[in-house]
Structure 1
Amino acid sequence: MSIRRRTLLGAAAAAPLASPALAQSGFPNRAIRMYVPWGAGGTTDIQMRVLCDQASKRLGQPIVIENKSGAGGILGPQALVSDRPDGYALSQMPISVFRNPQMNPHPPFDPMTDFTWVVHLTGYLFGIVVRADSPWQTLGEFLDYAKANPGKVNYGTPGVGTSLHITMEQIAGQKGIEWVHVPFRGVADNLSALLGGQIQATADSSGWSELVLAGRLRLLTTWGTERAKRFPDAPTLQQSGIDIVSISPYGIAGPKGMDPGVVRVLHDAFKAALFDPAHIAILDRFDMQPMYLDSEAYATFARRQFEEEGVMIRRLGLRL
């Protein structure tokens, strides 16, 4: 555990759980809906369910998960556009919310004006996995095969415009590879297709971890700055000669125009939930780290992310 992480955990543990804003505003007095724009049973779904369970204990009201998978993770955020800004509708906000409007000729929302940023949470461990009985022992062998066989390698991701899709295309661009992207609605479908032989590789978050540990899949690489602690034999992309780091950070937002007092109540509950030992255990399970930002810092981060993603999208010429 890093010094920074120990400091964050210590600070969170020392923070009081008393919430006078609850009594002052009367919020919340009924269930809160949380959109998770990914399929049930995947990494994000599992993590968000534990987070929301812990946050509901602080808020005194249930938080009901509503899965809205598909379209590269934008369906939850898109639903917020028509919701009331009363704090009873929230969504997990994948990085695709900053990309889709800049790739789409008919943007479903404007991330700079249509949301209220509540709290930033974490980022993923991404990686490329193949079947354990595949001929590729290393990332280099897999990429060499893909380059020598244009159009014959199919790889799965959670959707068009996701970090997984874009990073795989960046790898292809660097290595002169032509392969076929197959989008899925979630990690379960993605891995099922891989195990069934419909695709040759999966690029996804660490929902593949148990299958790797069980010996059914082989992890060729992870995409963080350091090797994953549970998979020390898998090199990072950078260690494999590909200068890319991808962790796809995300947080929680609501509709535009939310009352600052309501935002504060939600922020405080989710911040406490983020650092709760039960939630930290889930992050550890998926080799993820807390990446806390408060509401103001998250809004600043969102503006910067939108600008940076726009530069990348224009450079790569990405369109939906």
Structure 2
Amino acid sequence: MRRKILLAAGAALAVVCLPAKSEQFPDRPIKIYQGFAAGGNADAIARVVGTEMAKTLGQPFVVEAQAGAGGTIAATTVARARPDGYTLLLATGGHAVAGALYSKLNYQTVDDFQMVSTLTFFPFLLVVRADSSYQSLADVLKAARADPSAISYGTAGIGSTHHLAGELLVKMSKASMLHVPYRGDAASLTALLSGDVPLVIAPPTAVMANIKAGKLRALAVSGAQRWSLMPEVPTIAEQGVPGYDVTSWAGLMAPAGTPHAVVNRLREAALKALQVPEVRARLADMGGEVRGSTPEEMTSMVSAELKKWVAIVNEANIPKQ
């Protein structure tokens, strides 16, 4: 009987102590991993939002880039991390794309993560050099149809949303174009500016400075609607590819099994950050529509994205990586 009483008391004490630990979270720095090159879109979003979340939670947020393999290296790190809220993933649309494109991953795209909240949704821009002879996407597609080797397009890498956006364009337009992967947006833009590739698909934040400087010109936006900051640039759908719509996203994930109380603390801090005018303005400058969510809403969204890209990869016969 005494043993049973002691065990019951110990169990009760454990139950009492668990919330206390969650209430103390965080008591040390939090690390956000992102899977693309430092200075790129994912890196910028993580730093903007993480800096503001740190003010609410009272601990610094450290952003670390683990670039390569379409973001799967960073995702693997987080999936294998201790589920205590101190290791997060700044996931982008590439997270769902990788789940569709890679034949073997060290994690489950949805089940090995605890979603926290979406942060922002953004389109891609198709850009050429300012001195390019291509004045519209229609010009590019005409050249690609006439000569399958004429057009190559650069992206941030194999397995990125940029990559699948290009593959979907090829499929829907019936125009042959060669994909040239680089290690991040900065590298693909360097290749474009040096003339190594005639076209690049990239998020607005990666190309806006060069567009404003007169070095690059945007031919099209990938979303269903024109981008509010460049309303003069038509969508891909408007330029002979009806129904085309690719919009990427960014959000925070933790390892599966992270306590709900910790997830709620992180989500509350993220949503508070998204309400700060300076944060909203910065994300808007990156082409983003600020949109937070519940963990359940984010799980449904990522699951739907994964299903969509699996269908596209299969229908287009895109080789698995």
- Same fold, judged at TM 0.5 (above): yes
Q: How does 1:5-24 map to 2 (within 5 A)?
A: none
Aligned to 1:77: 75
Q: Which runs of 5+ in 2 are unaligned?
A: 1-18
Aligned to 2:4: none
The answer on whether the counterparts of 1:22 and 1:265 sit within 8 Å (CA) in structure 2 is no
The answer on whether the counterparts of 2:114 and 2:253 sit within 8 Å (CA) in structure 1 is yes
Aligned to 1:224: 223
**TM-score, normalised relative to structure 1:** 0.89
C-alpha distance in structure 2 between counterparts of 1:163 and 1:24, whole Å: 35
How big is each residue's C-alpha offset from its partner over 1:159-208, in whole Å with a ceiling of 9 and x where there is no partner?
Answer: 22222211212222233322211111211111111001111111010110
Query: What letter is aligned with 2:208?
Result: S
Go from structure 1 to structure 2 and tell me whether the alpha carbon gap of 1:40 and 1:24 turns closer, same or farther (over 3 Å shift). Answer: closer
SS at structure 1 position matched to 2:103: coil
The answer on whether the counterparts of 2:156 and 2:187 sit within 8 Å (CA) in structure 1 is no
The answer on whether the counterparts of 2:121 and 2:250 sit within 8 Å (CA) in structure 1 is yes
Q: How does 1:1-320 map to 2 (within 5 A)?
A: 25-206=23-204, 207-242=206-241, 243-318=243-318, 319-320=320-321
The answer on whether the counterparts of 2:42 and 2:92 sit within 8 Å (CA) in structure 1 is no
Query: What letter is aligned with 1:215?
Result: G
Q: Which runs of 5+ in 1 are unaligned?
A: 1-20
Question: C-alpha displacement at 1:24, in angstroms?
Answer: 6.0
How big is each residue's C-alpha offset from its partner over 1:99-136, in whole Å with a ceiling of 9 and x where there is no partner?
Answer: 32333232221123211111111112311100011111
C-alpha distance in structure 2 between counterparts of 1:40 and 1:150, whole Å: 34
Query: What letter is aligned with 2:237?
Result: Q
SS at structure 2 position matched to 1:253: strand
The answer on whether the counterparts of 1:147 and 1:175 sit within 8 Å (CA) in structure 2 is no
Aligned to 1:16: none
SS at structure 2 position matched to 1:108: coil
C-alpha distance in structure 1 between counterparts of 2:306 and 2:168, whole Å: 19
C-alpha distance in structure 2 between counterparts of 1:252 and 1:235, whole Å: 31
**TM-score, normalised relative to structure 2:** 0.89
How big is each residue's C-alpha offset from its partner over 1:264-310, in whole Å with a ceiling of 9 and x where there is no partner?
Answer: 10010011112211211111212211122111221222222222322
C-alpha distance in structure 2 between counterparts of 1:38 and 1:278, whole Å: 24
Q: Return structure 1 stretches of 4+ with deviation > 4 angstroms.
A: 21-24
How big is each residue's C-alpha offset from its partner over 1:200-254, in whole Å with a ceiling of 9 and x where there is no partner?
Answer: 1110101101211211001000012222222222101121121211111231101
User: Considering only CA atoms, is the larger Rg found in Structure 1 or Structure 2?
Assistant: 2
The answer on whether the counterparts of 2:171 and 2:316 sit within 8 Å (CA) in structure 1 is no
Number of residue pairs matched by the alignment: 300
Query: What letter is aligned with 1:36?
Result: Q
SS at structure 1 position matched to 2:248: coil
Question: C-alpha displacement at 1:23, in angstroms?
Answer: 8.7
Query: What letter is aligned with 1:283?
Result: L
SS at structure 2 position matched to 1:128: strand
